[in-house]
Structure formats: C-alpha cells, structure tokens
Amino acid sequence: MKEKIKKIMENTWKMFCEYYDCQAPKYSKPLGVEEAKDSHWICWNEYDLMIQFGRFFYKKLDKINSNIEMHLERNLNYSFRGFDFDNKLEELKKNLGRFPKVDLIIASEDSVGSFLMCGEAKYFHYSVEAISRGRQTVEEVIKKDIKTLSKIKDLGIAENVAFIIFDDYYYLNEPEKCKKIKNLLEQHKKKIKILYHNSRAKLK
C-alpha cells in the first residue's frame, strides 16, 4: 500500500500543478508583470495549499477501495498512545526539542501501525529573510522541516515522508536563492519525497 500511496501523492501533485498553471494566467492576464509577481491566487497560505492537495487527493483515492484518510495539522504527541510507535514519541521529542506539528498525515483508519505518510508543506509567497528581519533564512526553514521528516521516518512513525513546496516568491524574485533551495531539496530526495512547484505560470 505504501507504494500505491506514493504514486497517488505524485499524481495528486501533478493534478494540482496543472490546475494552478491553467488558472493563474487567467487572473494575472489583466495585470502588468510586476503586479502579477506580487499577487497571489488559488493559494494564499500553506493551509490553502493543503486544502487544494486534499481536493485532488480524494479524487484519486476514490478510485481505490480503501480505508485511508487524510488529516491536517496534527501534533505528534501522546495523543497517539496505543499506536505501535508510541514508545518512539519521547525520542522524537528529545531529538527535535519538541513534539512536532505535521501538516499532513495519511493513515489507515483501522490500523494502529505506522502512518502511511507524513508530510510537511511550505508555501513561500514572501521573503523569509525580509519578514524575519534577517533572523531566519529560507534554507533554515526548509532544513528544520527536513530534520523533522527524517526523524519521523527513522523512528518508523511513518512508512514514507513527503515535503510539499510551492514557491510563489523566490523563483520570480530571487533566482539565485531559488537555485539554493532546489539544491538543498536535491540532497534529500532519496529519503524524502519532494513535491515542488513554482508560480512561473503567473507570467504567461
């Protein structure tokens, strides 16, 4: 099942990206290039991104007879006592310095085994560096999520992990920083399923 879920995830992401690339130019067409760059459609934040992902995920999921469900923004803490991995939760907290809140869990509802998938999502529609006044970089933000996902997989809490990233800022405004982001993601693609897209379609 875990390979089937990975394939559904890939197809879901493809469906969303095609939808975005089709719709965004319609909204940006009346605008100039600079105004289009600074405007945001379809997804305004990470929660919107996950709602869109869920919209297409269930379309794919409905084609198979399953007991699988998708859950958003859940704390991996003692609320999961009784699951097979509950003895790993303290180690997770120790390694990360906290019980993490993950953006996505895909699970078999009649199982207390490992989750089929855990995921983190990032939607960049501004400069992390600017909004944090230099206290944080986009690379640091990404590395934090990569560490969380890696540890969740290492401890067997999830069979697979995914990082969903939509770049609505760096690709259009800071291409060198965008290259650094892609290089960072490339380093971890063997362990973490990377689902990446950007908003270049806005400028079509």
The type of residue at 184 is L
**What CA–CA distance (Å, rounded) separates 53 from 73?**
14
> Where exactly are the structural domains of the chain?
2-203
- Could you read off the pLDDT tens digit of each residue along the chain, which spans 204 residues? 778 899 999 999 999 999 999 999 999 999 989 999 999 999 999 999 999 999 999 999 888 867 999 999 999 999 999 999 999 999 999 999 999 999 999 999 999 999 999 999 999 999 999 999 889 999 999 999 999 999 999 999 999 999 999 999 999 999 999 999 999 999 999 999 999 999 999 998
Residue 121, token pair as written in the block: 């999502």
Pairing state between β 117-124 and 101-108: antiparallel
**What CA–CA distance (Å, rounded) separates 38 from 138?**
18
Residue 48, token pair as written in the block: 């919107």
User: SS3 of 189, please?
Assistant: coil
What are the tens digits of pLDDT across the range 124-156?
999 999 999 889 999 999 999 999 999 999 999
- pTM here is 0.94
| Residue keyed to tokens 């960072």 | 184
**Quick check: 96 and 148 in contact, CB under 8 A?**
yes
Pairing state between β 161-167 and 117-124: parallel
